[in-house]
């Protein structure tokens, strides 16, 4: 069973569990505890309004396992900033059905990026499927066939780019951020690359198994 609790600490040192959304004067820190299996869903619109209303307050996410033992904790603002970056950079994708961006982060620095698309020099998805073509019957199926054959997923582009970057001396402590949850195929590749943490914003409508498969590989998966 999933359990979610938001705690607040005030400047006078007092602490409380927020039952509704009424925050008193001078909050200095928020802790959002989620007790759940992976993928752990930290998405909460209220955290976004807190971040805006109290820019100086710390917002920490804590993941508890079924026994209530803390598994991980992190600064929500930083993770959210990377996820927001994927949402902005996905505009670079030429895919007509779903634009996806992936970042690989080490020690809070972005060391690789990728969007989904065809290999360099090959025609782009938006050159094949014009705006009118996209309104015709059977577009999704035709796009699916084209994409399976010619489009590289954002995660794969980011991992390939990481491999080209010789300044990265090892693959330890890498985090992957993706605007859409990785598919089962990318989950295998991510596991093999050594990445141990994945953060994503939206479920992948067409291939929903990716999050479960990442978890099967022992990767921590967070929706944020």
| 183 interacts with Zn ion by CB under 5 A | yes
| 158 interacts with Zn ion by CB under 5 A | no
CB 202 within 8 A of CB 179: yes
Within 8 A by CB and 6+ apart from 112, the residues are: 103, 104, 158, 159, 161, 162, 165
| 153 interacts with Zn ion by CB under 5 A | yes
Of 162 and 186, the one with the shorter C-beta distance to Zn ion is 186
Q: If we measure between CA atoms, which residue out of 123, 130, 113, 126 comes closest to residue 179?
A: 113
Cβ atoms < 10 Å from Cβ of 81: 13
> 62 - beta bridge partners?
33, 73
User: Under DSSP, is residue 18 helix (H, G, I), strand (E, B) or coil?
Assistant: coil
Q: How far is the CB of 110 from Zn ion (least distance, A)?
A: 20
Sole binder of Zn ion in the list 50, 104, 181, 186 (CB under 5 A): 186
- Write out the binding residues for Zn ion, residues 17-46 only, by CB under 5 A: none
Of 104 and 186, the one with the shorter C-beta distance to Zn ion is 186
CB 115 within 8 A of CB 99: yes
Q: Which one of 20-28, 45-53, 72-80, 144-152 is the stretch in contact with Zn ion (CB under 5 A)?
A: 144-152
Sole binder of Zn ion in the list 50, 61, 64, 95 (CB under 5 A): 95
Active site residue 202: no
The active-site residue, picked from 155, 161, 202, 220, is 155
Q: How far is the CB of 168 from Zn ion (least distance, A)?
A: 22
Within 8 A by CB and 6+ apart from 127, the residues are: 94
| 101 interacts with Zn ion by CB under 5 A | no
CA dist., res. 49 & res. 23, Å (int): 12
Q: How far is the CB of 93 from Zn ion (least distance, A)?
A: 8
End-to-end distance of the chain based on CA atoms, in angstroms? 19
| 90 interacts with Zn ion by CB under 5 A | no
Q: Which residue has the tokens 């590989």?
A: 217
Q: Which one of 40-48, 62-70, 93-101, 157-165 is the stretch in contact with Zn ion (CB under 5 A)?
A: 93-101
Q: How many residues bind Zn ion (CB under 5 A)?
A: 6
- Please give the residue ranges that form the binding site for Zn ion (CB under 5 A): 95, 125, 147, 153, 183, 186
Active site residues: 155
């Amino acid at each position: 069973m999933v359990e979610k609790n938001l705690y607040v600490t005030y400047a006078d040192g007092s602490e409380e569990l927020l039952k509704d959304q009424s925050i008193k004067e001078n909050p200095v820190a928020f802790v959002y505890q989620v007790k759940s299996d992976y993928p752990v869903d930290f998405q909460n619109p209220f955290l976004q309004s807190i971040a805006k209303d109290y820019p100086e307050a710390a917002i920490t996410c804590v993941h508890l396992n079924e026994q209530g033992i803390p598994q991980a904790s992190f600064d929500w603002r930083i993770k959210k900033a990377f996820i927001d970056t994927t949402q902005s950079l996905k505009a670079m994708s030429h895919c007509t059905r779903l634009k996806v961006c992936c970042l690989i982060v080490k020690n809070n620095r972005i060391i690789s990026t990728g969007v989904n698309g065809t290999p360099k020099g090959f025609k782009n998805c938006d050159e094949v499927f014009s705006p009118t073509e996209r309104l015709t019957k059977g577009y999704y199926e035709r796009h699916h066939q084209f994409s399976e054959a010619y489009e590289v997923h954002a995660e794969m582009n980011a991992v390939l780019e990481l491999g080209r970057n010789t300044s990265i001396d090892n693959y330890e402590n890498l985090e992957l951020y993706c605007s859409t949850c990785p598919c089962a195929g990318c989950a295998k590749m991510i596991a093999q690359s050594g990445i141990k943490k994945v953060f994503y914003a939206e479920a992948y409508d067409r291939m929903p198994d990716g999050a479960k498969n990442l978890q099967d590989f022992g990767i921590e998966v967070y929706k944020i």
